[in-house]
Amino acid sequence: MARRQKTAPPEDFTENIIDIDVESEMQDSFLEYAYSVIYSRALPDARDGLKPVQRRILYMMTDMGLRPDRGHVKSARVVGEVMGKLHPHGDAAIYDAMVRMAQDFSLRLPLIDGHGNFGSLDDGPAAPRYTEARLAAPALSLTDHLDEDVVDFVPNYDNQLMQPEVLPAAFPNLLVNGASGIAVGMATNMAPHNLGEVIAAARHLIAHPDAGLEDLMRFIPGPDLPSGGKIVGLAGVRDAYATGRGSFKTRAKVEIEQLSARRTGLVVTELPYTVGPEKVIERIKDAVTSKKLQGISDIVDLTDRMHGLRLVIELKNGFNPNAVLAQLYRHTPMEDSFGINNVALVDGQPRTLGLLELLQVYVDHRILVVRRRTAYRLGRKKDRLHLVEGLLIAIVDIDEVIQIIRSSDEAAAARERLMSIYDLSEIQANHILELRLRQLTKYSRIELEKEQDQLRREIEELERILASEELLRTLVSDELGAISEKFATPRRTVLLESEAAAPLKGSALPQATGKGAKAVLPLEISDDPVWAVLSASGQIARTADREPLMDGQRIKHDAFRSIVPTTARAEIAAVTSSGRMIRLQVMDMPALPPSAGVPNLAGGVPAKEFITLERGETLVGLAPLNTVLALGTAQGVVKRVTPEYPLNRDDWEIIALKPKDTVVGVAPAGEDDALVFITRQAQLLRFAGSAVRPQGRTAGGMSGIKLAAGDSVLSFSVVAAADPTAVVVTVATSSGALPGTSPGSVKVTDFAEYPAKGRSTGGVRAHRFLSGEDGLALAWAGHGPAKAASSTGVARALPTEHGRRDGSGIALTQQIDVIGPALSWPAAEDGGPAAPA
């Protein structure tokens, strides 16, 4: 075995041993490590909502050209590019971050379009060599304009490449997709939100910089989880929005179904956020085995790609479904708690942020991005204008310019001569010298002068934006609105103010959940006056009191179809298109929080959770049980129904319909009120309620409007006799156009301008069609001013009222899908709000 020879130190070597305190060294090293983890790995930036690895993945995929309109590439290739160029860590960590950005059950708005097995809540993804990926369309909005000096670039780990310090982020990604991460000494856990609601709040903050938290919560009532479900109890959400910390309960969406003639079951279609079906099944089986759960005979997982999640929990005979559901909430992950801890990096430092601070940081970042982009474009336009002006000078005497260049010994001499003779700058002279002769001749004077004028106009506009803070903020707001129009989706998660507002409660009290169900009213709930409301999107709810309903943002197709004044313990009815009336308990409807008003029914739930509808049957409206109702059908039949309904039944027919006829409208109607039919061919008939005598519920009604061949009733309304603000709104369209491609025209007319006619007549013309239009798509008559909404929930401005005899409407520039009444009414004589007819 060879021995190592010790070499003698050099003659000028001086030994210098430094004593280091272990405690201080450990503290310094740990602090450096903690800062590295916090800043470089675990916490997202409050501006773009991304961790460094996520930002590097998106940037590298953009650099690789993996756009949504191109093919997928192997995930392993993306992971290798990111690891080799920007993120010198393990490939597993990079792939895990990439997978999460592709999972629609993890992010509210996925940023990567994955192809292959990207995992589920119960199983992990396939290896990166098997899966493929490309950028999703929303991710382009995060990385757009990176080449226009909108953000700072920093060196990568080996100083050979540059990477963005932060992404431009055209939408508030941190609030929309949330974040989770564990750093050293701190952690973050942020809930996802609805893109349309977050952008609406950001635009409000841009327009009103002094807006408070309550103003923003009118637009963002609570989180919107990718898995849907219900959030029960909003006190913790408000705490989190105010302080950055809070918690709330999430519950599965459960419906009671009759599985067979003698067997009832609980059907789970949505689970709490991050909870998978296999975990729920396992916990239910363990609880049944340990006798913690009773009344369950079997559980079947019928989940598939076509119908989504569907867990069927079969119940034993004689067990109350609500009592079993209460046990499931208590002993299984069907009820889970989500803790909000809004920790993010602001100027490189971790901070706990409330909703207002999160939006303010994003808005400030976006304003800076747009300002830098505008300044960059202004500089490029000025540079181009400088070159165009030089070309215009040279093209006037092109022959002499060519002669100067040919007679010069070298390029430097030609440049000096051009600069001295034509008073050109060095940049202009170089540009002329670099052009080929055939390129120079194509620059006609007219084309260059047109380009010069266009550049000057663009420069003037860019300078106006940079000089005006108001114009700059307006531009940012408009761009956010365009993103909302493009990517916003309806809310998935139902928000319930408290546990008592849930349609299916976790208690032994039986609830009205379907046809034939009875409800036991809780004694602690007082019989206060409320509004029962139904929107065109099928959302049903009750207000916490009977304060005037305030206007606000809408969800998809959110215009109020029915508003019934009632009390919390009362009964009302729902009328369907087949002429069926169903008894409803107001207590079973979710109560909207007072702070939310009733602008977007964020606390409402689909009506089908309360009402069992047959195939092809739709809900027409809500109505009181103690007054005369007027109904209109598609074939022009009208009927006033006396309030003599059976007390021992939960549903019954209130009109005998002819074959293929359906009910199109229902509302309370007195003898002095006006009954209004509007047909698809724009015929309007108005006659007094006294012309229709009240009939029993089994009668078939009488002729209301005389229809032309091929025509049918589009709308039936009741207009109160003492309503001076009543209007008629009609929207025309073309039946030959594809859905959503023909905006048509809209007309708003004072209702008083339409004369009353006799019953069973053809009425008068309400809308003269423009070129290409052949029928009405929407029509409405009632309390005004009317409101309109598009399929994305954006409120649309209607034209000002004009006379009936001018005939046609005003052409639309944007699609209108829903028309409804205004959400506020004048006060009644006793000082309280007056109910609309």
pLDDT digits (tens, 9 = 90+) for 2-14: 566 677 777 777 8
Q: What domains does the chain contain, in order, with CATH numbers?
A: 38-169 (3.90.199.10), 253-333 (3.30.1360.40), 369-487 (1.10.268.10), 512-820 (2.120.10.90)
Q: pLDDT value at position 505?
A: 35
Q: pLDDT value at position 806?
A: 56
Residues 6 or more apart from 472 whose CB is under 8 A from it? 367, 370, 371, 374, 465, 466
Q: How far apart are CA 605 and CA 362, in angstroms?
A: 31
Q: pLDDT value at position 811?
A: 58
Angle (CA) 535-591-663 rounded to 5° is 30
How many residues are present in the chain? 837
Output b/e per residue, 336-358; b: 16+ Cβ within 10 A. bebebbbbbbeeeebbebbbbbb
Q: Among 388, 363, 518, 395, which residue's Cα sits nearest to residue 459?
A: 388
Active site residues: 130
Are 527 and 351 spatial neighbours (Cβ–Cβ below 8 Å)? no
Angle (CA) 529-530-533 rounded to 5° is 155
Q: What's the distance, CA 50 to chain centroid?
A: 20
Are 251 and 236 spatial neighbours (Cβ–Cβ below 8 Å)? no
Beta bridge partners of 564: 532
46: three-class secondary structure by DSSP: coil
Q: pLDDT value at position 717?
A: 92
Q: pLDDT value at position 526?
A: 65
pLDDT tens digit sequence for 587-627? 667 666 554 444 456 556 677 767 778 888 888 999 999 89
448: three-class secondary structure by DSSP: helix
Q: Among 23, 99, 17, which residue's Cα sits nearest to residue 57?
A: 99
Q: What is the largest CA-CA distance in the chain?
A: 123
- For residue 570 the two structure tokens come to 């009362």
Q: How far apart are CA 537 and CA 89, in angstroms?
A: 48
Phi-psi region of 644 (alpha: psi -120 to 50; beta: other; left: phi over 0): beta
833: three-class secondary structure by DSSP: strand
Residues 6 or more apart from 654 whose CB is under 8 A from it? 575, 579, 580, 581, 629, 631, 641, 645, 697
Show the low-confidence residues of the chain (pLDDT under 70).
1-5, 29-31, 33-40, 261-262, 318, 437-443, 498-526, 546-559, 587-588, 590-605, 609, 737-743, 785-837
